[in-house]
Amino acid sequence: MKVNYPKVKQDSKNRVYVDFTQNGKRYRIFNGKRINHSISPNSFPVEQRLEMGNLLAAEVYKFLNSGKSIELFQKSKLIKPNMSDKDYLRAALDIKLRGNYSDKYKSMLDYVFGLLDKSIVGNSVNLNQLNQLLNNYSSEVSYNTIRRHLTVLFNEAERLGMKTNPMPKIKSKKTKAKLHKPFKNITEILDEVKEFNANLHLCCLLTYGCLLRPHREVRELTWNDFSDDLSFINLSGNRNKSGKNRIVPVPSFIKPHLIVGNPNDNIFSNSEKPLNKDYFKTLWSRFKKVSKTLEPYQTLYSFRHSGAIDVFNRTGSITKLQKAMGHSSINVSLTYLRGLEIAELKEEDMPMVSF
């Protein structure tokens, strides 16, 4: 089988990684551990990382051409004789923690494994133990969140060779939909936010006008993400939830609020380091306490939802909405609109585009 030469890339934090595909699966590795090599480009000064990344790419290419499989190599290093269920689950966690996932996701998996570790009596896992763990959560949302992360660990452990997987027998709980109620008075609420805090106001503008997600996509924006004339925002796949590159138009009403700084600086912190992940969550909580216009169930995400409704009402096109929102499929967008109490929709009723 022909092996394509790996690509060397750099993320927004100047970390170098090698991007390649093997057996139909895409990999991004930041060091040589997964191919049993000691090279680590990001331990070098920034100006030397690309050079070292090219050396890592050469070693990866050599590894792939040797016929070895990254997946099997990782598995063989983790699997030992006479492993217990707990050992398999710990190995599964190790794989996930070394994967290219968000810090929040990894932290949650680590937390759930800790709960599991305390709940397991002995080294084998049974259905009763898992039910007892989950029944500690009276909230349907919390129950489903813990269950979902447990499923990830058990599925990975099963792939590694664990014989038992009780998770398919545990069903998720039905939850009542909590709506991010859209704004009917968008100008009024934006004016009130502007008086409260300039950073929160710009976040709301970008969430509404560019349909970006506030807590990561907006918060991590740098001036490098904008085109020279501020007409577009370009987000790479590792910077947004869909995992795909997104190019988002910037409406004219936002541009006067963009005071351009150094290219690598975050647009809110004016330094290369973004503000902490709870920054806008905290600001919004404070704003809610003093706001005279907010209604129940209106959140920071309500700006994105309000923007989605505006796009749909003006264009009538679910495909345009899908692209604007960065959704993976039309069905996701339809579900999104149903959740916003828009009249019942069916995919076959909507305008379609042939690709």
Nearest to 313 by CA among 346, 291, 343, 268: 343
Tell whether the model's pLDDT for residue 178 goes beyond 70. Answer: no
- Note whether 338 and 192 are same-domain residues: yes
Same domain membership, residue 24 and residue 151: no
User: Within a domain: residue 57?
Assistant: yes
Domain boundary residue among 169, 202, 231?
169
Say if residue 118 is in the same domain as residue 240: no
Whether residues 192 and 328 share a domain: the answer is: yes
pLDDT of 237 above 70: no
The reply to whether 336 falls in a domain is yes
pLDDT in tens, 317-347: 777 887 777 776 677 667 666 544 554 445 4
Q: How far apart are the C-alpha atoms of 93 and 99, rounded to whole Å?
A: 10
Other Cβ atoms less than 10 A from the Cβ of 191: the count is 13
337 domain-assigned: yes
Long-range CB contacts (< 8 A, 24+ apart) of 307-316?
Answer: 307/207, 307/208, 307/209, 307/211, 308/211, 308/336, 308/337, 308/340, 309/182, 309/337, 309/340, 309/342, 311/211, 312/337, 312/342, 316/351
**198 and 311 inside one domain:** yes
Question: Do residues 35 and 133 share a domain?
Answer: no
- Amino acid identity of residue 142, one-letter, is S
Predicted confidence band at 243 (pLDDT cuts at 50, 70, 90)?
A: low
Query: By three-state DSSP, how is residue 320 classified?
Result: helix
Half-sphere exposure of 3 (CA within 13 A, CB side): 17
Q: Are residues 327 and 280 in the same domain?
A: yes
Domain that holds residue 94: 79-169
Q: Could you report how far apart the first and last alpha carbons of the chain are, in Å?
A: 30
Q: Are residues 11 and 138 in the same domain?
A: no
Number of domains in the chain: 3
Structure token pair of residue 268: 């809110």
Answer whether residue 174 is part of any domain. Answer: no
Q: How many CB atoms lie within 10 A of CB 302?
A: 23
User: Which among 68, 91, 116 is the end of a domain?
Assistant: 68
The pLDDT of residue 353 is above 60: no
Last residue of a domain, one of 68, 92, 108: 68
Question: Helix, strand, or coil here: 162?
Answer: coil
